[in-house]
Amino acid sequence: MKSWFTVTVCLTTLILAGCAGHTHSLIRDESDRDITIGTFRHEGPEGASMALEFRGTRFEASGFAIQRNQNLAELRRKYYPGKHYDRIFSGLDSDHYVYTAQPELHSSNGTTLRCSAVWRSGGSPAGHCVTAEGSHVNFRFE
């Protein structure tokens, strides 16, 4: 009975951990100094979300689309013929996907940041935002 309880607790923990979204935190040293806090989530039941504190104002977006792409022509040139290419083409090897998102972050005072993020499978999002005045602000998440 004890082993059944232990197995149940372990499985429950794994299931709950698997359902939680993958959240990245801002790397301040590699981001614009006017951004003080930031998070980016691209997995989980709540969907995608991004939040930045820029010049003392919090900007947020949620539910934006994330595109998944891979350059099969380039991958074919590199890996064809072979088992590696067969795994890539069949979708079993997802290490070659590149993800992109273009969230529009809004603040409570009505201003917006139009952002663009890119990351490789297993990597961390990085990109830039454009302010209403046209300034570019770089960010990088861990």
The tokens for 117 are 């993020």
Whole-number pLDDT of residue 17:
39
Give the pTM: 0.74
Whole-number pLDDT of residue 106:
98
The pLDDT profile of the chain, 142 residues, written as one tens digit per residue, is 444 434 343 433 433 334 446 899 999 999 999 999 999 998 778 899 999 999 999 999 999 999 988 766 676 676 667 776 666 566 655 666 889 999 999 999 999 999 999 999 889 999 999 999 999 999 999 9
In a 3-state reduction of DSSP, which class is residue 89? helix
Please give the radius of gyration of the chain, using alpha carbons only, rounded to the nearest integer. Answer: 19
Whole-number pLDDT of residue 5:
39
Contact assessment for residue 96 and residue 88, using Cβ atoms and an 8 Å cutoff:
yes
Q: Where are the domains of the chain?
A: 23-140
DSSP code string of 16-75: HHHHS--EEEB-GGGS-TTEEEEEEE-SSTT--EEEEEETTEEEEEES--EEEE--HHHH
Contact assessment for residue 130 and residue 114, using Cβ atoms and an 8 Å cutoff:
yes
